[in-house]
Structure 1
């Protein structure tokens, strides 16, 4: 019977040793699982942070693209608001040929109607009203023989070079 007690005691000791091993392994596995859970939580947090940074960077990049595109396009000039004149008759378009005839090739009649227009011939009028046919406009100012006090001879020497002003 002593031998049975010894055998049973040995079995109990072996079982206790096995139990201790399993308990230690369980504890080690539990710690590993806890570390894995912690790492998963850290990775999830890091992923969320990276996604937020990505969204922010994409928004900033789009803003930069829009700014660059706006700076490269020519600015649109705003035309002032114009009000059309209202008339009872409809607007008639003038053909381009008539406009060219009227402004580019004026007729002799329209030129003669204009008092400031030069004559169509080779005649030019001088300042005194005389007709000159030399194809140049002549200066017909005549120097006055008398010098009035306080008046310089502007026509002979328009810039009064070399002369002292007469007082």
Structure 2
């Protein structure tokens, strides 16, 4: 249940209540992917054994369950008919982060992957740019990049400086201290 909840949660940037209320009718298995509709459509592609894991989870569902919610409790190695609640579903990020020995798992995945704000908004179904900017600003990768810029004086972005030099204005000294990954392009026109 935790693995399937994690996969769907990441793939669809799902909120806890969206996962809790997800029904078997909301998911269409088209063979090479899952198409899920929870008020927005998202796709789970077959990476690793994700689809196999999802299919196996659904196959454990007891035949006489009276509701259609996807996530059910497991007790004594068997799937019960009791649906998973909001508190249990909300603990999935902490359980996964703890298992992986990470401080947080959901909040920074998209931003640390370099996904732009527009894509984050579209993926998560957010209308507000403020929420998406908060994730970008709080991204560990973004904070590391800023720390390197401030403390070390390095940047990962390219800086281009074009200087037109003639014989009369050749600089007497050029200082390139603390520079790494520097590329010079020299164009000589006579």
TM-score w.r.t. length of structure 2 = 0.16
TM-score for both structures, normalised by structure 1: 0.18
**Greater fraction of residues in strand:** 2
Higher helix share: 1
- 1 or 2 for the larger relative contact order (CA 8 Å, sep ≥6)? 2
Largest Rg, 1 or 2: 1
